[in-house]
Amino acid sequence: MTHKVTCCYDKTRCYHFDTILQYPDSDIATAGRECIDGSSLVLLATGWLGCLNVGELNLLSTGQDGVDAVHRDGTTPDDTYSKQDVGEQTDTDSKRDVGGHADTDSTRDVGEQADTDSTRDVGEQADTDDLPGDTASAPDVIADISDGDVEPEPPRCGDSTIDPNETCDPPGSCPTSCNDGNSCTVDTLVGSAQDCTAACSNAPITQCSNNDGCCPTGCSPAQDSDCAYDCRNLATWPAGWQSFEAQVVPLFNERRAQGATCGTVNYPAVGPLQVQTLVYQSARCHSLDQANHGVMSHAGSDGSSLGQRLTREGYNWSTAGENVARGQTSAAGVVTSWMNSPGHCSIIMSSNFVHVGIGYVKLDSGSHHWTAVFAKPR
């Protein structure tokens, strides 16, 4: 008969894992003869003897039982000692011992397949801790499903879930064109629909550039052919044009203060004219309209009259007058031309008007166009 371990208790009873032998009291020599396979009689503790192969001594010495009357064997279901005994399959201590298959401690021991701690132990494939380099998409190096920690799946394009690093999913929802209909943006498709990273970049155009369909903020028609002069927006109105316009009003008021003869009619001195924004817009818009069409007229290219243009600008007028001119290259030159014309002179000298606006436009390929609008509100 072959026995892995034989232990004796109180010198009278020897227990094998599969056989129990009894010996007379004090007959230790007889017990020694029962040590088989070359094993030796060994004193384990007070009242304890055991037969043990030398090669198994280290196993037996780590599993001695200090509470039960016998070792745990096939006939005794368990013990209450806090160490796992030789051949024992389970225990209740806080350490996983040699041969034990599971424990309840928070440390994963050598050979243990699962634990409940938050630290990734040797050989364990996943955890719930937050170690350096440990992220949601890249846990620790190895994984252990039995630990309860589940390694997150990498992003999968086509699962109808927009995972981290994806911009669209499924691929059919990804953009294929980035034209936003705005001529002032550079529209670029980045990424790929195949890996669900396609996205649009719509960067604003900030540089003044001709013939790209865009007039960026701050660009004037002189800097960018795509820009249009806006008679209602001084930011687009060239400074040189504004300077000519500003020179006309003082010349008007100087003549009004002196009085004048217009043809055969004498006009006494009258008060100065005041600049009015809406009246100015009416004058500028009419000069720009004339310059764009290369004409000089009191009628707009849309057939509008002076009164209609003032009303369009929001000026509530009761009396209005208008002078136009083309070709004069200076403010003094145009004022002189108007004062030498009886009809134009009488408008400048009329006491019926209190507000004035001047519009000057000179396009690159055109002539100098001037408009002066006089008005009195209701």
How do residues 217-230 score in pLDDT, each as one tens digit?
888 887 888 888 99
pLDDT greater than 70 at residue 346: yes
Q: Is the pTM of this model over 0.75?
A: no
pLDDT greater than 90 at residue 241: yes
pLDDT greater than 60 at residue 164: yes
Alpha carbon distance 87, 60 (integer Å): 9
Report the chain's mean pLDDT, rounded to a whole number: 75
The reported pLDDT for the residue numbered 17 is: 38
Average pLDDT over residues 208-237: 88
The reported pLDDT for the residue numbered 100 is: 44
Flag the least confident range among 79-88, 243-252, 323-332: 79-88
What percent of the chain stands above pLDDT 70?
60
CB 121 within 8 A of CB 115: yes
Tokens read off for 364:
């690159």
| pLDDT tens digits for range 89-134 | 444 444 444 444 444 555 545 554 444 455 555 544 444 444 444 4
pLDDT greater than 70 at residue 320: yes
Residue with tokens 């503790």: 45
pLDDT greater than 90 at residue 281: yes
Q: How far lies 366's CA from each of 231, 290, 359, 363, 369, in Å?
A: 17, 10, 15, 5, 9
Q: Taking CA 356 as the corner, what is the angle to CA 353 and CA 357, rounded to the nearest 5 degrees?
A: 155
* Residue count (the chain): 378
Torsion of CA 242, 248, 250, 253, to 10 degrees: -140
- 309 pLDDT band (50/70/90 cuts)? very high
pLDDT greater than 90 at residue 7: no
pLDDT greater than 50 at residue 156: yes
Q: How far lies 244's CA from each of 30, 160, 316, 325, 369, in Å?
A: 135, 65, 27, 14, 11
Tokens read off for 292:
């764009």
| pLDDT tens digits for range 173-188 | 999 999 988 899 999 9
Tokens read off for 282:
């009416």
pLDDT greater than 80 at residue 16: no
The reported pLDDT for the residue numbered 161 is: 92
What percent of the chain stands above pLDDT 90?
50
Flag the least confident range among 55-59, 75-79, 147-151: 55-59
- 261 pLDDT band (50/70/90 cuts)? very high
Alpha carbon distance 9, 25 (integer Å): 11
On the CB side of 113, CA atoms within 13 Å amount to 6
The reported pLDDT for the residue numbered 42 is: 53
The reported pLDDT for the residue numbered 172 is: 93
CB 11 within 8 A of CB 31: yes
- 41 pLDDT band (50/70/90 cuts)? low
